[in-house]
Amino acid sequence: MKMSTKRITYMAMFVVLNIILTRIASIRIAFGTVEAIRIGFGGFPVILAGITMGPAAGGIVGAVGDLVGYWINPAGPYMPHFTLTAALTGMIPGFMIRLFNSKQPTIWQLAIAIATGQIITSVLLVPYFLYKLFGIPLVYKIVTSCIVQAFNIPIYTIFARLIMKRFSIGLAPQKIN
């Protein structure tokens, strides 16, 4: 992965957007002393970084966003499990888009890539980690995650398509170096 100043600047912008949308502009519902539900769009900048700049950039944006966000505004004890899921949130859609091997992904390719990443991370891994670490009921968390993702996946897909079209962004490294 080529690390130009422009690329690092874009990644930093995505990290800041992730922190703001996750830690400040989201609705949090606690289960005891642990955040059980978070409704917001914090994953979108991570996903967009993975799709437009590649899976490595998406993983870096997700991990750095989680670490810096936790340092600025901790929500419970630090658990590296969630840094891993944050990195995977950017990596999986980036890998999926690369598998489609098209310079300008269709809306369906974006939807499949985003849905695959969100199902693996938000619907399966996060509930599993919350259950194992804090005892939050697995079925409850999976059901609420499915409901949240039923809204987020189409919204993320439409936003990603609109942004990519508006700014003429193709796949990395064609446009963002």
Rounded Cα distance between 146 and 133, Å, is 20
Distance of CA 104 to the CA centre of its chain: 20
What tokens were used for 72? 């600025």
What local confidence, expressed as pLDDT, does residue 77 receive? 85
Residue 35 pLDDT level (bands cut at 50, 70, 90)? low
Residue 31 pLDDT level (bands cut at 50, 70, 90)? low
Q: What is the pLDDT of residues 106-115, one digit of tens each?
A: 999 999 999 9
Rounded Cα distance between 13 and 49, Å, is 10
Rounded Cα distance between 19 and 65, Å, is 6
Q: What is the pLDDT of residues 38-65, one digit of tens each?
A: 778 999 999 999 999 999 999 999 999 9
Whether residue 170 has pLDDT greater than 90:
no
Q: Any idea what DSSP says for residue 120?
A: I
Whether residue 138 has pLDDT greater than 50:
yes
What local confidence, expressed as pLDDT, does residue 29 receive? 73
Inter-residue contact 65 to 46 (CB < 8 Å)? yes
Task: Classify residue 166 as exposed, middle or buried by CB count within 10 Å of its CB (0-12, 13-18, 19+).
Answer: exposed
Q: What is the pTM of this model?
A: 0.88
What tokens were used for 117? 């990443």
Question: Architecture of 5-166 per CATH?
Answer: Orthogonal Bundle (1.10)
Rounded Cα distance between 166 and 159, Å, is 10
What local confidence, expressed as pLDDT, does residue 1 receive? 66
Residue 35 CB contacts under 8 Å (≥ 6 apart), including other chains: 28, 29, 75, 76
